[in-house]
Chains A and B, each alone.
Chain A
Amino acid sequence: MKNSFKTLCIGVLAFAGLVLAPLTLAQSGEIPRTRDGKPDFSGTYDVSTLTPFQRPSEFGNRLILTNDEAFAIANADAERKETNQQGSDPNRSAPPQGGDGSTGAAGNVGGYNTFWIDNGTDVVRIDGEFRSSIITDPLNGRLPPVTDEVRNAARVALGAGEAPRREGGANDGTAYWLDAGLDAPGPYDNPENRPFAERCILSFGSTAGPPMLPALYNNHKRIVQTEDTVLINVEMVHEARIVRMNAEHDPAPIKKWLGDSIGWWEGDTLVVETTNFRDTPAFSRGSENMKVTEYFRYENPDKIIYSFTVEDPTVWEAPFSGEYSWPRTDNKVFEYACHEANYALEGILKGARVMEMEYRGEDPGGVPNPTR
């Protein structure tokens, strides 16, 4: 009995220790560490932010915002969301014939309600200072100019009327690509023409990157860390980045969707270097020659500062760097089984066939539109 009581007491104390240890760490400002003394980044982070990747021109070369400016940005965003939550006319009619004029991914047909969006409520704040952009170098917070080769290639492609790789479509409701001939290649000829995101293959924008950037929603990342491997699980679109610690890169001919990542420690900073990209990395217009170096450090036990430098002399005239914060969250990374119901890809390809039939004067049939 005595022994049982003693065991119980030890058990309770051990449990209390397990529960309280992280709290004590956080309260004392000490960062969590692994058994071998390295910073332990294991946990889940919500990287959503109102701070844009590139700096709005109004801020010029100014990276640091005043408190008033940062609060004004957050307030304006909150007001915009509040406005978008107001009710609509229950007797409204269908949107305009010919499109609603919206741009970007919502091109001319609109997107969906704000309640589906989760892009954060705050401006990036690092070491107490609010930031106007994620890009920190060049000084203007903008991507450096692309090389002459890239510029010329774009002009040639434009001049030739070539269907752009990531084309969203000149959305006028016609098979406009057949203007060049009834057998002319178009942007919807087969699934391989379509962007990686649309095919559920690779992160939307550059959520998994690298560099890993925030998006309109599903901004959660989970880090699982061991001595020889760091795994970064990216909610959208289901990637698991695997960083091999203190390793050599794979031979150059081995190309990977997310590149080949190796890592090492510089003091309390985790450095991750990624090369061996395929010819079309997730990030912007980077090429297979891209090298991304990422830095993870703790500002405090509840916030990682994530920095990166991108080098690709075949695309950009100079390297560039960026930095933003990854606050820890109690939330979880949810499943994102993108292929599960990717009706959009099927609809896009089938829709193109229907429009081509119409272009040729054939009747594609279909479900009558009750509003027409």
Chain B
Amino acid sequence: MKIKIILANVAAMAFAAAGLWFTAGSQAVAHHAFSAEFDPNRPVLLRGPIVRVEWVNPHTWIHLEVTNDDGSTTVWMVEGGTPNTLLRRGLSRDTILPGTYIVVDGYQSKDRSARANGRDITFEDGRKFFMGSSGTGAPYDNDASRN
């Protein structure tokens, strides 16, 4: 997900360079900067069955059980987006069945707990975990009513 930041002027660029949050772009922004939470030096690739889903705001957390090299298991929790978006498309917590095997790539949290961002969550065969868009996916599918 790229957040587009359009800068207004040189001063604004100075602010942006300093990391001062600047709501100047198009539709911004997430609840928090993932950069603040996850460690770029600790990439992870997690595989395993879902054991729990926290269908909560501001972010959904999907828990999966990962088998370690020594045969022990660790339950990792993976951060996704707001459940409200999926709820509007008819998906609920119950859509996500425990036991479903998923593959997740992301980065481990900076606090070194068993947490990661769900940079890409897919089924075992690579299909995206959820499909669909806010409409049918066709441009201007809401043209008559929305415009």
Contacts and interface: CB of A to CB of B under 8 A. Distances in A.
Contacts of A7: none
A204 B31 contact: yes
Contacts of A96: 43
B97 interface: no
Contact of B35 (A49, A118, A142, A169): A169
Given A145-B9, A348-B37, 5 more contacts: A88-B122, A112-B117, A118-B134, A336-B84, A350-B113
Contacts of A167: 18-21
Interface string A142-173: 11111000110011011000001111111111
Contacts, number: 395
A110 B1 contact: yes
Contacts of A303: 146-147
Contact of B22 (A56, A155, A173, A285): A285
B111 A327 contact: no
Interface in B77-104: 79-82, 84-88, 103
A331 B135 CA distance: 13
Interface string B125-147: 11111111111011111110111
A172 B41 CA distance: 8
Nearest to A108: B40
A113 B25 CA distance: 20
A172 B40 contact: yes
A205 B111 contact: no
B42 A347 contact: no
A95 B22 CA distance: 28
21 contacts: A54-B6, A77-B139, A78-B139, A81-B137, A88-B126, A106-B1, A122-B146, A151-B14, A164-B15, A167-B18, A167-B20, A168-B33, A169-B35, A214-B27, A285-B20, A302-B145, A334-B87, A335-B57, A341-B61, A350-B111, A365-B112
Nearest to A111: B1
Interface of B: 1-6, 8-9, 11-12, 14-15, 17-46, 54, 56-61, 66, 68-69, 74, 79-82, 84-88, 103, 105-115, 117-135, 137-143, 145-147
Contact of A56 (B6, B87, B128): B6
A53 B128 CA distance: 31
A216 B38 CA distance: 21
Contacts of B14: 151, 154-155, 158
Interface string A203-217: 011100000011111
B140 A105 contact: no
B18 A198 contact: no
Nearest to A336: B57
The main secondary structure of chain B at its interface with chain A is loop
A87 B107 contact: no
B81 A146 contact: no
Interface residues of A, number: 129
Contacts of A92: 45, 103, 105, 120, 126
Q: Which of B18, B60, B66 has the most CB of A within 10 A?
A: B18
A273 B1 CA distance: 35
A343 interface: yes
Interface stretch (A12-20, A221-229, A244-252, A351-359): A351-359
Contact of A103 (B2, B26, B81, B103): B2
Residue from the set A50, A75, A99 with the largest chain B CB neighbour count within 10 Å = A99
A171 B23 CA distance: 20
A236 B27 CA distance: 13
Contacts of B112: 351, 354, 364-367
Given A122-B143, A197-B32, A347 B119 contact: no
